[in-house]
Chain A
Amino acid sequence: DTAVSQTPKYLVTQMGNDKSIKCEQNLGHDTMYWYKQDSKKFLKIMFSYNNKELIINETVPNRFSPKSPDKAHLNLHINSLELGDSAVYFCASSHSGGLQETQYFGPGTRLLVL
């Protein structure tokens, strides 16, 4: 019973394509996040949603559009993929996004743009 799951695990695609990564959590959490881990293994927040509403949108190109159909899901759609989008994308969730809460991470989606 995976707490935070992501699909697909691996994604290889051509430049210019549009792709989506899905994330689901079965923990009953209100807050979900997307993180990007670059080739140097540096993690950075991209988005945070609380109860389907966008809370944080860091400096991310508008080619990236998160969508939260319900509070258990936060999907990431990427338009016009570029080489620099190649990275590992992690989804995470926490109970209510409070300042002192543990975040639970998904297994990651390894995206390679050719």
Chain B
Amino acid sequence: KNEVEQSPQNLTAQEGEFITINCSYSVGISALHWLQQHPGGGIVSLFMLSSGKKKHGRLIATINIQEKHSSLHITASHPRDSAVYICAVRPDYGGSQGNLIFGKGTKLSVKP
């Protein structure tokens, strides 16, 4: 079992829908990252969280450290949001350069 699990694996939505992608992890962490991988392959960091909630435009990320769970929400989804969304955690062991552990990603398709 992977230390970082995402759900759903695939998600199809209609333009305008509210979208939630979930991430659960099984290790103690110092930070959690949400990344977006575009259809062309490029990876962009969306958020880094260690507690609470962050918002950027139509994207909202939340984390519950006690429950080892994070969610990424997209409000008023748009076809340009179509991408793979990847959750990654930085374990709190391994010294200051602990490696990121990645989920397998959630492929989102937003239809017009």
Residues of A within 8 A of B (CB): 31, 40-45, 48, 50, 55-56, 58, 88, 90, 97-105, 107-108, 110
Contact = CB atoms under 8 A, between A and B. Distances in A.
Interface string B17-44: 0000000000000110101010001111
B64 interface: no
B97 A104 contact: no
A105 B45 contact: yes
Interface residues of B, number: 27
Contacts of B44: 105
A114 to B, nearest CB: 20
A102 B90 contact: no
Given A42-B105, A100-B31, 20 more contacts: A31-B97, A41-B37, A41-B84, A42-B102, A43-B88, A45-B99, A45-B100, A48-B97, A48-B99, A56-B97, A90-B43, A99-B90, A99-B98, A100-B30, A102-B33, A103-B33, A103-B45, A103-B100, A105-B35, A105-B43
Contacts, number: 59
A40 B86 CA distance: 13
Nearest to B46: A102
A55 B97 contact: yes
B41 A88 contact: yes
B65 interface: no
B104 interface: yes
7 contacts: A41-B104, A42-B102, A43-B88, A97-B97, A98-B96, A99-B30, A100-B31
Interface of B: 30-31, 33, 35, 37, 41-45, 48, 50, 84, 86, 88, 90, 92, 94-100, 102, 104-105
A29 B5 CA distance: 30
A101 B45 CA distance: 11
A46 B94 CA distance: 15
Contacts of B97: 31, 48, 50, 55-56, 97
A42 B5 CA distance: 12
Contact of A97 (B33, B41, B96): B96
